[in-house]
Amino acid sequence: MKKIVCDNYDAMCRLAADRILDAVRSNPRAVLGLATGSTPIGVYELLAEAYRAGTVDFSEVVTFNLDEYYPISPDNRQSYWYYMQQNFFSKVNVRPENIHIPDGSAADAALACRAYEAAIEAAGGIDLQLLGIGQNGHIGFNEPGKELYAATHVTPLTEQTLRDNARFFSADEVMPTQALTVGVGTILKAKSILLLANGKNKKAAVARLDDGMLDPAVPATFLLGHRDVTVICDREAV
Ligand code: PGA
């Protein structure tokens, strides 16, 4: 695991965006694993800027998002489907049929999870996976526990995650208490992984990556078992 400490959030985003742009330029059919939350917003802005400047083409790129609230409809402005349209897909030329986000409106969540895992396999697996990290050490919505799921699954959200994400919801919006998320095994199958962490509230979780122990109570530590992970953080997160 390689760790790069950047001066600030903008520099982190520049570095991560450049890694993604390199991946797409060298393989226009790259399969990208994408993340939501506040952390990657600056990265999506830079990718959109590169697209507007004509220096990258996303028309053959295939994307798989990490997770989605459950249950939630795609047109709910709190859905990750909505987030991705707002922050990225509406600004670039990823083809709609190449976009995959776990189906938060599926009647049968377990079936939707199996289909999602199969779609990732059918696409040949993820080439480059972008990740954030929760204060509780979650990646995707793989929440701390005694055991972790390998594959895409339905999960209750922990109290910590509900508290952390409550900031995105207004008083009249109901926050789902469950989610669909790719599993830790799904993430570890990606060829290359970028984990972004900024701000002092991420410091404790990032520090646990230095311990060298795989601990299901801090799901991100399982990334220590992967051969190509780059942690990109700002000074406050280390
Ligand atoms: P954040 O969330 O980017 O909003 O801090 C990260 C995560 O929960 O993975």
Indicate the top mutation candidate among 164, 175, 236 to test ligand 1's pocket, ranked by most ligand atoms within 8 A of CB: 164
Q: Summarize the confidence of residues 200-213 as an average pLDDT.
A: 96
What crossing angle do the helices spanning 9-26 and 41-52 adopt, rounded to 10°?
A: 50
Ramachandran sector of residue 132 (left: φ over 0; alpha: ψ -120 to 50; beta: rest): beta
Q: Summarize the confidence of residues 216-220 as an average pLDDT.
A: 98
Note the pLDDT of residue 136.
96
Tell me the pLDDT tens digit for each residue of 64-117: 999 999 999 999 999 999 999 999 999 999 999 999 999 999 999 999 999 999
Told to judge if 108 belongs to the known catalytic residues of this protein, a careful annotator would answer no
Cα 207 to ligand 1 centre (Å): 16
Tell me the pLDDT tens digit for each residue of 4-27: 999 999 999 999 999 999 999 999
- 144 within ligand 1 shell (Cβ under 6 A): no
Extract the tokens encoding 63: 């994307």
The CA distance from 60 to 94, in Å, is 7
Catalytic, out of 143, 153, 164, 198: 143
Told to judge if 67 belongs to the known catalytic residues of this protein, a careful annotator would answer yes
Cα 139 to ligand 1 centre (Å): 9
**Mean pLDDT score across all residues of the chain:** 97
For residue 226, the SS3 value is coil
pTM of the model: 0.98
